[in-house]
Structure 1
Amino acid sequence: MNEQAQQAQAQALGRVMVLMGGWSAEREVSLASGRAVHEALISRGVDAIGVDLDRAGAQELGKRLLAERVDRVFIALHGRGGEDGQVQALLELAEMPYTGSGMAASAIGMDKVMCKRIWQGAGLDTPAFAMVDSLSAAREAAEALGWPVIIKPTADGSSVGVSKVDDPAGVEPAFREAAAHGEVMVEQFIAGGEYTVAILGEQSLPAIRIEASADHAFYDYQAKYEAEDTGYRIPCGLSAEEEARLAEAARTAFGLIGARGWGRVDFIRDAEGRHWLIEVNTVPGMTSHSLVPMAAHAVGMDFPGLCVAILEQTLGSRPHPAGVSTGGESADGAV
């Protein structure tokens, strides 16, 4: 893209507020994402300001948007408060266009149990699970599901509070760790390769196979953001036909919860080749270790180009209606 075209693009986007930080367990990751997005937009000539949003700032967000003469918002908030529909609701009240999914889809996307129930209802593969409200219930659920199991919070992302438990002795510490972050679920463990598919508009980007080192039982927080030996395979190693099936499953899962704009869907592929849905991310990470930028790079899109492409989806848009899809497309139309 030549300089004149970039200037026209930046002018069309107007003044952009990048929201980051927040008050969830993923605050530090969000700050890294937001700073990277802000710098990328500035590098493309976009009039962008970065805002570290706290609870008090959220209450005054509408006033600040007016004071700063903001035209649209790039949401780089992860976890509760920013990825779960709360900030989306505030932006809808302010009639401010913003990136990503609407209020209802964001809330569902953050709720692992609700996602799984929707996917189960549509006949998609997702591991069996049980909601538990006590240590004894967690023990009973683990025995019923069979060892090993995954114990995790029903909300939050970045594998915060998630544990793989191999035997009864591990249930108590895993339950207490998950319970520190809210409601808890016990989930069937599926052995297999970990894959993720990024969504951008109506398209899926190349799948990535994630290979955590032997020091990590699964792709946990440390493997995601701290380890230097986590492997990312693009191409992912699947046949073209199987990768196409995986991409279609990702788009279907994404659309069923009403998600739109951009995001990421995570899978486990078992030894029989079944693709098990694990979770959806409606505001994925945008850090140096993040997966969506890796997938975009594989199709020739650099990081600033990705940020602008996500932001351009808000052009000509009104605030997202809060509808939820019952099919493969969001209720308010696919972006």
Structure 2
Amino acid sequence: MNIVVLAGGTSTERDVSLITGTKVYEALKQNGHNVILVDLFLGLEEMETVSSDIFTMEYNWVKNVNGITAENPDIEQVKAMRKDKSDNIFGAHVLEVCQMADMVFMALHGSNGEDGRIQATFDLMGIPYTGTGYLSSALAMDKGISRKFFQSHDVPVAAGTTMTQGSGSSGWNVYPCIVKPCCGGSSVGVSIAHNLEEFKKALADAFAFENEVVVEQFIKGREFSVGVIEGKALPIIEIAPIEGFYDYKNKYQAGSTVETCPAVLTEDQTRKMQMYAERAYEALGIESYARIDFMMDESGKMYCLEANTLPGMTPTSLLPQEAAVIGYDFNQLCDWILKVSKAKYTK
């Protein structure tokens, strides 16, 4: 197959996306596909024209990709790199090469990638892509909306609410609590508040990223994640940060967390969490694959945190570890995702 691996963009998860894209690119090439890695925002400005020969040309598509830093990427610095200075999310020739491909492998994370807008554009243009469609992407990206869908499908969530900028603390008085941007990812802008003063600061930090935030009761306990492919749950993985909580640094800096797969749970707990994961996947109308995150408190009660419709595929990512337990190495997982995504277009 001729495949475009689409990564980068202008999300706060840009660095993560580029590493995901690099690993997927390398795997698909090893699997025998003709593959190019393209930055959604920077595009192919160095090329005057593009043709289908681009998929077989000799070129190092990963030469400019660096590692993931402990800090969020500077998006303004990224925008300054673009020669045409346009704010168009699609860089030079991006849509052209995507139209030439047999499949676009979506290695994007966060806004302008995981929120459904790129998927909607591709649907209008008849471009096939991996992962779920635009509507379920948008629903899953908004944590305030997805909470309501989970509740309506009997998927347990923590007590919480949404707040908009300018609404103040709106009478919230449950501490500790967790504050997070509604549509962010990779725990960017997420804080734990233990009192009113910390809560106000947490709100300010979250509102720096978006105008709407989710506030939830902090659940003390164990954190888990469950991959779901074609509606069926994979083995559960437990994530235990060595310090603090599972924030941006702990997610992407090697050695920051202890990850155990399969998670050490009773058979009943395993079945229940996998059932909730499948139910959350169905509640949002997700197709192909996703990853559902959970907390379990000290009494054993489970709470669904969110659904990730384009989960990370970095060296420390969770979905590849879960797939490995059932016999799929990273290269096989990438082809599995291609297969289940292609099936969307043959229904």
TM-score (norm 2): 0.82
- 2:34 aligned to 17, 42, 47, which one? 47
Alpha carbons 1:267, 1:278 under 8 Å: kept = yes
1:32-111 correspondence runs (5 A): 32-54=19-41, 56=88, 58=90, 61-66=94-99, 69-111=100-142
Q: Cα deviation per residue 1:34-82 (whole Å; 9 max; x = unaligned)?
A: 111001100111111111111646276433334xx21111101000010
Secondary structure (helix, strand or coil) at the match of 1:318 reads helix
1:98-177 correspondence runs (5 A): 98-134=129-165, 137-138=168-169, 140-141=171-172, 143=173, 146-177=174-205
Counterpart code for 2:284: I
| 2:47 is the counterpart of 1:18 | no
Alpha carbons 1:16, 1:71 under 8 Å: kept = yes
Distance 1:262 1:76 in 2: 13
Which deviates more from structure 2 when the two are superposed, residues 116-125 or residues 274-283?
A: 116-125
Alpha carbons 1:190, 1:268 under 8 Å: kept = yes
Counterpart code for 2:255: E
Alpha carbons 1:15, 1:46 under 8 Å: kept = yes
Residue aligning to 1:291: 318
Q: Cα deviation per residue 1:201-257 (whole Å; 9 max; x = unaligned)?
A: 2321110111111x21x2111111125131111121101222011111100001110
Alpha carbons 1:102, 1:259 under 8 Å: kept = yes
Distance 1:245 1:298 in 2: 19
Secondary structure (helix, strand or coil) at the match of 2:180 reads strand
Count residues in correspondence.
300
Alpha carbons 1:62, 1:94 under 8 Å: kept = no
1:181-330 correspondence runs (5 A): 181-182=209-210, 183-213=212-242, 215-216=243-244, 218-226=245-253, 228-315=255-342, 317-318=344-345
What's the Cα RMSD here?
1.7
1:231–1:135 Cα change, 3 Å = farther
- Mind listing any 5+ residue stretches in structure 2 that lack a counterpart? 42-86
What is the deviation of 1:190?
A: 1.3
Alpha carbons 1:138, 1:186 under 8 Å: kept = no
Secondary structure (helix, strand or coil) at the match of 1:114 reads helix
Secondary structure (helix, strand or coil) at the match of 1:194 reads strand
Distance 1:316 1:205 in 2: 19
Secondary structure (helix, strand or coil) at the match of 1:278 reads strand
Distance 2:224 2:190 in 1: 18
Distance 1:262 1:282 in 2: 7
Q: Cα deviation per residue 1:278-331 (whole Å; 9 max; x = unaligned)?
A: 000000010011000111111121111101100112335439xxxxxxxxxxxx
Distance 1:127 1:314 in 2: 32
Alpha carbons 2:277, 2:292 under 8 Å: kept = yes
Distance 1:314 1:148 in 2: 40
Alpha carbons 1:62, 1:90 under 8 Å: kept = no
Task: Work out the percentage of aligned pairs sharing the same amino acid.
Answer: 37
